[in-house]
């Protein structure tokens, strides 16, 4: 993972934690366990980083629900 992707992942985890009212560690664990982190966020950085944070929070929240790591 390059520096840009790492910065983006850190940003996403922080924003999701705030949005979902969960700890950053919990969000990281859920994203990693579900495969969302390394199968979706990291490989899709080039596209995802162009979207608004609001869109990203909605998209990732929905995806986490579909993956069963969020109710």
Instruction: Give the residue among 8, 5, 55, 12 at the shortest CA–CA distance from 30.
Output: 12
pLDDT at 70 over 90: yes
pTM: 0.93
- What radius of gyration do the chain's Cα atoms show? 11
Mean pLDDT of the chain: 97
**11: Cβ–Cβ under 8 A, 6 or more apart, which residues?**
none
pLDDT for res 8 = 97
- For residue 29, the Cα-to-chain-centroid distance in whole angstroms is 11
pLDDT at 1 over 90: no
For 22-42, the pLDDT digits (tens) are 999 999 999 999 999 999 999
The separation between the first and the last C-alpha atoms of the chain, rounded to the nearest angstrom, is: 29
């Amino acid at each position: 993972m390059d520096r840009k992707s790492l910065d983006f992942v850190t940003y996403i985890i922080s924003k999701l934690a705030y949005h979902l009212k969960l700890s950053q560690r919990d969000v990281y664990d859920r994203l990693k366990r579900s495969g969302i982190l390394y199968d979706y966020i990291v490989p899709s950085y080039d596209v995802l980083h162009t979207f608004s944070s609001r869109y990203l929070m909605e998209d990732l929240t929905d995806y986490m629900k579909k993956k069963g790591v969020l109710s």
